[in-house]
Amino acid sequence: MLADPRRARQEALVRALAAEELDGLLVTSHANIRYLTGFSGSAALVAVTRADVLLVTDFRYDEQAQAEAGAVARVAVDSTSLWDRFFKELGTLGRLSWLGYEAHALTVHEAERFTDAGKAWRWKPTKDLVERLRASKDAGEVAASRAAAALAGEALRRTLAQVRPGMTELEITGALEGALRRLGSEGHPFPTIVASGPRTALPHARSSSRPVAAGEWLLLDFGAQVDGYCADITRTVMIGARASERQRALYALVEEAQRRARGCVRAGMSGRDADALARELIAARGFGEAFGHSLGHGLGLEVHEAPRLSKTNAEPGVYVAGEGGVRIEDDVHLSPGGPMLLSDGRTELLELV
């Protein structure tokens, strides 16, 4: 029987706590709670100490919490106040002095409880203790992301078979999101982006009621979720006509940069060096200023995780205001043996005529 990866994650966190001279950590980030315990509900407080893992939730999640997290955490359920029950249970975990909390995932109002009900302990803000663990993916996490990417690729194939000039961006968004759900995606990790024509020059455009015209770029940036793990894919296609020479050249540049990056990136590279794999090629062709965002980002229980591959720290794109843009995004796992493509990698120019 395989060891439960959640136990290893909890043990790794305890070692990180010891290095920070903390007796425990209050975990409030939903993604971090799921990573450590498996609980996927929307309301929970978790304490990880050197000897215990406590999960407090409300009555809505009684059975779910026991089923998802009961094997690796002591589950307490309260029908009135999550926080009051949490502090009560925390007092049963033995002698604790310094406790950390996730400063990025806690509101000021919630933190005020430390000086009231939580005054028996001393509290210290922490940053990215669990997120640093999540940056390295185990085999089960990689398999879930691969399954999400395969699902997303099939949903795109079915959607593009329906796309015609005259359809609005929102209509195409609906078709794509419907296909994702029908194929089994648990949700949409982020709002689906469908942009056309000049609006493809907006890196994070919102789908609109604009009709798509023949001879325009259509950009689709979307995701899928399997077992909580995300896929994030972008494809740019030509609608209703053959691409012009300029459009073809622009697409070829982005595709070349993306293929170079996804083939040459290696574990252990700095974010800056990884970003340069694509950025240097695009800049050499005179489009450096049109590549405004980073090469890529980590992916897992959240659609944006550590590490970040950027020029300051594989989704290269070139955006020309008033004309349009091209972005190509695939999902890659950086294994010890080199990059492993998780999505289908079908980045050749597609002309829907």
- pLDDT score of 193 more than 80: yes
The pLDDT of residue 312: 36
Do 155 and 265 fall within a single domain? Answer: yes
Do 159 and 269 fall within a single domain? Answer: yes
Do 241 and 326 fall within a single domain? Answer: yes
pLDDT tens-digit profile of 222-245?
Answer: 999 999 999 999 999 999 999 999
pLDDT tens-digit profile of 130-160?
Answer: 999 999 999 999 999 999 999 999 999 999 9
Q: 140 or 2: which carries more pLDDT confidence?
A: 140
Residue range 97-108: mean pLDDT, rounded: 95
Residue range 6-28: mean pLDDT, rounded: 97
- pLDDT score of 331 more than 80: yes
The pLDDT of residue 309: 59
Do 80 and 108 fall within a single domain? Answer: yes
- HEC-encoded secondary structure of the chain: CCCCHHHHHHHHHHHHHHHCCCCEEEECCHHHHHHHHCCCCCCEEEEEECCCEEEEEEHHHHHHHHHHHCCCCEEEEECCCHHHHHHHHHCCCCCCCEEEEEHHHCCHHHHHHHHCCCCCCEEEEECCHHHHHHCCCCHHHHHHHHHHHHHHHHHHHHHHCCCCCCCEHHHHHHHHHHHHHHCCCCCCCCCCEEEEHHHHHCCCCCCCCCECCCCEEEEEEEEEEECCEEEEEEEEEEECCCCCHHHHHHHHHHHHHHHHHHHHCCCCCCHHHHHHHHHHHHHHCCCHHHCCCCCEEECCCCCCEEEEECCCCCCCEEEECCCEEEECECCEEEECCEEEECCCCCCCCCEEC
Do 197 and 290 fall within a single domain? Answer: yes
Could you tell me the CATH number of the domain that includes residue 54?
A: 3.40.350.10
Domain count along the chain? 2
Could you tell me the CATH number of the domain that includes residue 249?
A: 3.90.230.10
Model confidence pTM above 0.75: yes
The pLDDT of residue 347: 94
